[in-house]
Amino acid sequence: MNIIRVFMMVLVCWALTGFFVSAEDTDDSGIHNFTDESMPEDFSRENEVLNQVTPARIITGDEAKNCDTRLVLIGTTGGISWYPETDRASSSSVLIVNDSWYIIDMGQGSAAKLSEALNYGDFMDTPEGRVETGSSTFLAHANALFFTHLHQDHTADYPSFLLIGAGAGLGTKRDPDTGKTVYVPLKVFGPANRGTLEADKTNFSARGGQVIYTDSSNPDLITPTPGTRQMTDLIWQAFAQGINDVTLDDGYPDHRSLIEVHEIGGTESGDIPFPGIVVDPNSDSCPEMDPFEVYQDDNVRVTATLVDHHQVFPSIAYRFNTKDGSVVFSSDTGPDTKGNLQKLADGADILLHEVIDRAWIDLKFGTPVPGSQMDALKTHMLTSHTANDVVGSVAESCNVTTLVLNHIVPGNTPYAHLLVAENDFPGEVIIGEDFMEIGLTRDTD
């Protein structure tokens, strides 16, 4: 028994030292980045042409796991609530291309499901049972995280992802030349500061409500509308005690060095500005525009546009072009985006689109008095989201081959209500489920 205990202690020590980068493996800053020479070439123009002229073959079921490019649905409901009689997590997906991961949103419940779906681990048999051979580093596969907008049902598990991810390979890679673990910060893309507070359409202040502001010794950082960068900084501050303990006492890396935030609509170095448009989010949160580039590497080229989630600004739809096909994420949006979503999604293989059940809205709100506050709220729900009897025609106008229903509200919507999307869409309709995998490939014969 003593020999087994010693063996187990050796395994634990080996796991910890194998995960963390030693001082001799790093430069003076303690962080390694891949050089231009060690990184593969960017996504090629040849792949862009393929996306335009060669449709992908969509594969579902167990065979999807064999595809170089596949979409993994982590959380498929939405809304700031939990729904009975369903175990769906809130909005989150992973696009896997050549074993590199691109994560879209981190809604409530998605962090644990991300691990459940993709954290395989390595194990060995011992006299006392199966033992993991080292600390999990599964998040080393993640290249980038993209937020569509900053509502809670798309961001609530972001703190968990950052805080627990620091012990699961976040912001690290295995150097292909040396075999050593190096720090390569995960790129995080998301909305910048909104710039101005939403209009008070519910008489919140008159009813005694108090708008929440950030707190800072820097007056420039006191705001009711923080963007992705400041949201991230505030997470570090909120959990400072625990972070400081594990870095000073347990040898964990500097958490802040594990990610690199780029804001869409921001003005700092590395941010992505909107394409030459001056936006007043309180009068027009979705001006007409052409898609603009957000990111590219050797696996993907990511473009984006604004969609209409009413006062939520910005609400960003993304398109991922890969060698095997293209996937579009609608974000939360009403059906009318002034053609923005149609321009972005034109010819895509998969459109992952939000959906809300009109029957549930009718039951929830009834038939309110025209012009009343309840009537305005019901109208808002149906115009800032896309109803099940409309989403099919939206997908048809986007000229896509496959529609995947996602961000299903409520999460317990009957399948029969969702299948009405087939009435107005000539392609395949897939009802998203947590852990569903959808592969993309091209027939080259």
- pLDDT number for residue 45: 59
Strand 428-431 with 402-409, pairing:
parallel
E-assigned strand segments in 208-282: 259-264
Is the per-residue pLDDT at 39 higher than 80? no
Domains of the chain: 2-21+44-199+209-441 (3.60.15.10)
Indicate the helix (H) or strand (E) that contains 232. Answer: helix 228-238
Instruction: Tell me the pLDDT tens digit for each residue of 192-211.
Output: 999 999 998 888 899 899 99
Among the residue ranges 22-36, 56-70, 123-137, 358-372, the one predicted with the least confidence is 22-36
Q: What are the b/e assignments for 208-242, b being 16+ CB within 10 Å?
A: eeeeeeeeeeeeeeebebbbbbbbbbbbeeeeeee
Give how far Cα 37 sits from Cα of 117, 171, 192, Å. Answer: 33, 20, 32
Task: Tell me the mean pLDDT in the region 139-147.
Answer: 98
pLDDT for 46:
59
Q: What integer best gives the mean pLDDT of the chain?
A: 89
Beta-carbon contacts of residue 293 (< 8 Å; ≥ 6 apart) = 272, 301, 302, 303, 304
Q: What is the pLDDT of residue 277?
A: 74
Residues 134, 131: Cα–Cα separation, whole Å: 9
Flag whether pLDDT at 239 surpasses 60: yes
Q: Cβ distance 345 to 399 under 8 Å? A: yes
Note the pTM of the prediction, 2 decimals: 0.89
Confidence of residue 279 (pLDDT cuts 50, 70, 90): confident
For residue range 334-348, what is the model confidence (pLDDT) as tens digits?
A: 999 999 999 999 999
